[in-house]
Amino acid sequence: MVAKRKKKYSTGEAAQFMTRKAALKKLQLSLNDFRHLCILKGIYPREPRNRKRAQKGQTGIKTLYHVKDIQFLLHEPIIWKLRDYKIFNKKVGRARAIRDFENLHKYLNNHPTLKLDHIVKERYPTFLDALRDLDDCLTLCFLFSTFPSLAHVPRDQSALCQRLTMEFLHAIIEAKALRKVFISIKGYYYQAEIKGETITWIVPHHFSFEPQQKSEVDFKIMSIFVEFYTILLGFVNYRLYHSLNLHYPPKFSSQSTIDDVEKNIVDEEAFVSERVSALNYPILKVTTDLIQDDVTIDNFALDEDPNKVEEAKKEAEKVKKLKTLFKGLKFFLNREVPREPLVFLIRCFGGEVSWDKVLFIGSTFDENDETITHQIIDRPSMPKQYISRYYIQPQWVFDSINARELLPVEKYFMGEVLPPHLSPFIDPERDQQYIPPEERALYDPSVLEDQYKKDENIIQEMTNAEEESNQESNVEEEKIREKETNKSKLSVSTGEVYKEVPWEKSRQERQEYKLREKMIKKKHKKLYNSMMEGRKERAKAIWLLRKKRRLHDEKKATEKVGKSRKQE
């Protein structure tokens, strides 16, 4: 019996993938509703191994989805809610067109609501899963908290982002979970550690909002992401507050709350002032705090490697000291410094902070308080100064947190040229990247600048490797000829002590390296050559940057010598 021949493109990748048009037809949804549903459910297009087979022989590049993902969407109850929205819009539009205001008010009062609680539970079964995916959520919510009312971004959504982000900052302050911070052009980078999970997010600088063109940013798509992220962040805040033994929603010690501010204050500057003042007040707790600061390390898991145990203990001690870095210190902020990040950082590490009560609300002590230890200022001079305090620039706070110790204040006095602000998120052991001398000294103070000469020879050694190998091969041939001539003479000579040739080992390594290069397959040869070219370019870039730095330092040194001579 002859087996039945299978139809073309009925098996394999052709049966595993589906175009977006076919998915819309199967789900019976519009393109906007399909995008909305995919964003909420976390389903994205897939890239097949063989696009021609996946597209069933069709030309061009099409958006493809996995068949199992589309079948997974078929059983989602949100689809029916999206259809209810469509019916609701038709009813409202018809009632408005025929001026049937009685039915119009009835429809508007009973509009369908979309609930996403079950999707959050489905995508993040445990609290740790939610923490692992919190980076993008926080960054986008902090961004939307700075937006005014836009066409596709309702004011209620921005207000909700403002409330949720403020609650999260208070949870970080109470848990003392902040570990690193960095100032960049994009904003303030923060990194916290919660339940063993590292969370990194960006808070944008507070500038006046400039509306973007419609072609640059699709705020409607971003608003759908925020719609899901606000539900996720609300659940995370709830769990964080209950793990810290705090009320949720939080109750502040100050008279005004965030909800009151949202209802009563329209001015953006006044709202920011209220938000910063809320950060400066502690949250009311249910009972005494149940969190223990003492960190105990389980030795049974690391018994095999005692070095790891010692490193873990040292790291735990550093973190414990970091949590109380500013304890016992009182800071006063001048009007020109950014208040919100500084208040957040100082309170995270146990310090007290205040500002001028005439300018902003929420101050806890005045400028003439004799117990103030540091006054943060960002101007070259000040007419009235107190002897009992240090006048420093804001960068001292950030650098001290990253160094995990109180740095000397001499380099951060007002009017001083500040040291470079180094990023703590870069691996110090990274390869083939330029590391500035200040950063190298930060990680290892004993490192001197005697490596410039070695770095200058990197490119020369790579380009002259072939010439050296040719010279060494000629020397080897001469030695072989000498041995052959000596063999013909039947004479006994005295033994000589064998001396190691210094370049013999490097020559042998180069020969082995060339043999390994010959073993590379032809299909990988182009990739290998491009990798080698990239390595040469990176080495050249490092050499050029270090040369520029050396010339800059020499110029600076000559200028200092010239100034000292003029003063003499």
pLDDT in tens, 496-540: 777 777 778 888 888 888 888 888 888 888 888 898 898 889 889
Query: What pLDDT sits at residue 359?
Result: 82
What is the pLDDT at residue 563? 78
Q: Determine which helix (DSSP H) or strand (DSSP E) holds 390, and give its type and residue range.
A: strand 390-392
C-alpha to C-alpha distance for 203 and 189, rounded to whole angstroms: 7
> What is residue 218's predicted lDDT score, i.e. its pLDDT?
81
Locate tokens 């959504």: which residue? 157
- Over residues 70-82, the mean pLDDT reads 89
How many helices, marked H, and strands, marked E, lie in the chain?
22, 9
How far apart CA 123 and CA 127 sit, in angstroms, is 11
Between 168 and 292, name the one with better pLDDT. 168
Identify which has the larger pLDDT, 107 or 362: 107
> What's the pLDDT score for residue 255?
44
For residue 353 the two structure tokens come to 């902070």
Helix pair angle (465-488, 452-463), 10° resolution: 70
Lowest mean pLDDT of 155-159, 194-198, 457-461, name the range. Answer: 457-461
Question: Which pLDDT value is given to residue 210?
Answer: 67
pLDDT of residue 455: 47
pLDDT band at 263 (very low <50, low <70, confident <90, very high): very low
Average pLDDT of span 144-169: 85
Average pLDDT over residues 256-285: 62
DSSP summary character for residue 410: G
pLDDT, mean over the chain:
81
The span from the first CA to the last CA of the chain, in angstroms, equals: 110
pLDDT at 252: 64
Cα 531 to Cα 528, 536, 540, distances in angstroms: 5, 9, 14
What's the per-residue H, E or C state across 78-116? HHHHHHHHHHHHHHHHHHHHCCCHHHHHHHHHCCCCCCC
- Indicate whether 472 pLDDT > 80: no
Rounded to an integer, the average pLDDT of 99-112 is: 87
Cβ atoms of residues 237 and 164 within 8 Å: yes
Q: Taking a C-beta distance cutoff of 8 angstroms, is the pair 82, 196 a contact?
A: no
Range among 348-357, 464-473, 480-489 rated most confident: 348-357
Average pLDDT over residues 340-345: 92
Q: What does the alpha-carbon distance between residue 559 and residue 105 come to, in Å, rounded to a whole number?
A: 78
478 pLDDT tier (thresholds 50, 70, 90): confident
User: Residues 6 or more apart from 147 whose CB is under 8 A from it?
Assistant: 153, 158, 209
Per-residue pLDDT, averaged over 111-118, amounts to: 87
Which two three-digit tokens encode residue 162? Answer: 């403002």
Confidence of residue 136 (pLDDT cuts 50, 70, 90): very high
Neighbours of 64 (CB within 10 A): 21
Per residue in 437-473, is it b (16+ CB within 10 Å) or e — as a string? beeeebeeeeeeeeeeeeeeebbeeeeeeeeeeeebe
pLDDT tens for 530-559 read 988 988 898 898 899 888 988 888 888 888
The answer to whether 17 touches 62, Cβ cutoff 8 Å, is: no
In whole angstroms, give the CA distance from residue 434 to residue 545: 7
pLDDT tens for 199-251 read 999 999 887 666 666 667 788 888 899 999 999 999 999 999 999 988 888 87
CA angle 354, 355, 358 (to 5 degrees): 135
Here the tokens at position 545 are 């940057």
Over residues 366-377, the mean pLDDT reads 90
Q: Report how far residue 80's alpha carbon sits from residue 88's, in angstroms, rounded to the nearest whole number.
A: 12
In one-letter notation, the amino acid at residue 424 is P
Q: How confident is the model at residue 261 (pLDDT cuts 50, 70, 90)?
A: very low
pLDDT at 3 over 70: no
Query: Between 494 and 38, whose confidence is greater?
Result: 38
Given a cut of 80, whether residue 440 has pLDDT beyond it is no
Query: For position 52, what pLDDT does the model report?
Result: 86
56-60, 164-168, 172-176: which range is least confident on average? 56-60
Tokens describing residue 505: 């080992």
Q: What confidence category does residue 114 fall into, taking pLDDT thresholds of 50, 70 and 90?
A: confident
3-state helix, strand, coil in the chain (%, to 5): 55, 10, 40
CB 312 within 8 A of CB 296: no
Mean pLDDT in residue range 128-150: 89
121 band by pLDDT with thresholds 50, 70 and 90: very high
Give the integer Cα–Cα distance in Å for 135 and 130. Answer: 10
pLDDT recorded at residue 290: 39
List pLDDT tens digits, range 397-417: 999 999 888 999 998 998 888
160-188 mean pLDDT: 92
Cα 333 from Cα 378, distance rounded (Å): 10
187: left (phi over 0), alpha (psi -120 to 50) or beta: left
- β-strands 374-376, 390-392: how paired? parallel
| Cα gap 141→163, rounded to integer Å | 10
What is the value of pTM for the model shown? Answer: 0.76
Give residue for tokens 């490092």: 542
